[in-house]
Amino acid sequence: MARLADFKVLTFDVYGTLIDWEGGMLTALEPLLGAENASSYTPKQTFDILHELESEQQAKTPEMQYSDLLTTIHPGIAEKLGLPKPSAEESKAFGDSVGKWPAFPDTVDALRRLAKHYKLVILSNVDRASFAGTNSGPLQGHPFDLIVTAQDVGSYKPDPRNFKYMLEKVKEAFDVDRDQVLQTAQSQFHDHHPAKAAGMKSSWIVRPGKIMGNREQQLYDWKFDTLGEMADALEAELSK
């Protein structure tokens, strides 16, 4: 059986895996959810609405930058929640919030430890400007060896084009084939299912209690609650 140490490249989802997507999103939605009747909706109901609108908009406008996409669907979230329509300024503030969403407590230390063994590659559904804000802020400027965003590809995960494009760029940059690339992510929907279809191995970072992207069929080759636990497992392998 393959070991974690056998891989040369980790390809990361960011929002949900390195960054607390759900916590950041709820904070960004607070101005809207603070309105009358919003308290009657659970986070899961809110995220289900968000996922529905986000997926529809991504399919409709795959070239749209993620910050603009969030701005676009913000009024629809309010409508489905039965809340007053937000102003254009409020919707733009929601879209511009991505770079402020917090990292999970274990993320930065785990990245530093994993970078001693792997090339670290970003495969994210956001745009370059949003990720740049995240990288310079919550991720404390941690360097990555390659960054691939939905803006670069012109489509959003789980579209297979995103994985094909990433694997081609990894081959060009590092001369590494897919059997030495490990997709590392929380979302079954956005990452593990399409990674499997692309012939890749994957490491599921569960982030217990998080609900976005979960599916009844769970696909993965390794499973850890946190990225820190994955770094622990790698170091244990290397110490033998």
Whole-number pLDDT of residue 176: 98
**pTM reported for the whole predicted model:** 0.93
Whole-number pLDDT of residue 82: 86
Quick one: residue 218, left, alpha or beta (phi over 0 = left, psi -120 to 50 = alpha)? beta
**CA dihedral sign, ordered 37, 42, 44, 45:** negative
Q: How many CB atoms lie within 10 A of CB 39?
A: 9
Whole-number pLDDT of residue 43: 86
Whole-number pLDDT of residue 39: 60
* Cis peptide bond prior to 158, omega within 30° of 0: yes
Rounded-to-integer distance, Cα 20 and Cα 238, Å? 29
Whole-number pLDDT of residue 162: 98
CA–chain centroid gap for 126, Å, is: 8
Catalytic residues: 13
Per-residue pLDDT of the chain (240 residues; tens, 9 = 90+): 689 999 999 999 999 999 999 999 999 998 888 755 556 778 888 899 999 999 999 999 999 999 999 999 999 999 998 888 999 999 999 999 999 999 999 999 999 999 999 999 999 999 999 999 999 999 999 999 999 999 999 999 999 999 999 999 999 999 999 999 999 999 999 999 999 999 999 999 999 999 888 888 999 999 999 999 999 999 999 998
Whole-number pLDDT of residue 211: 87
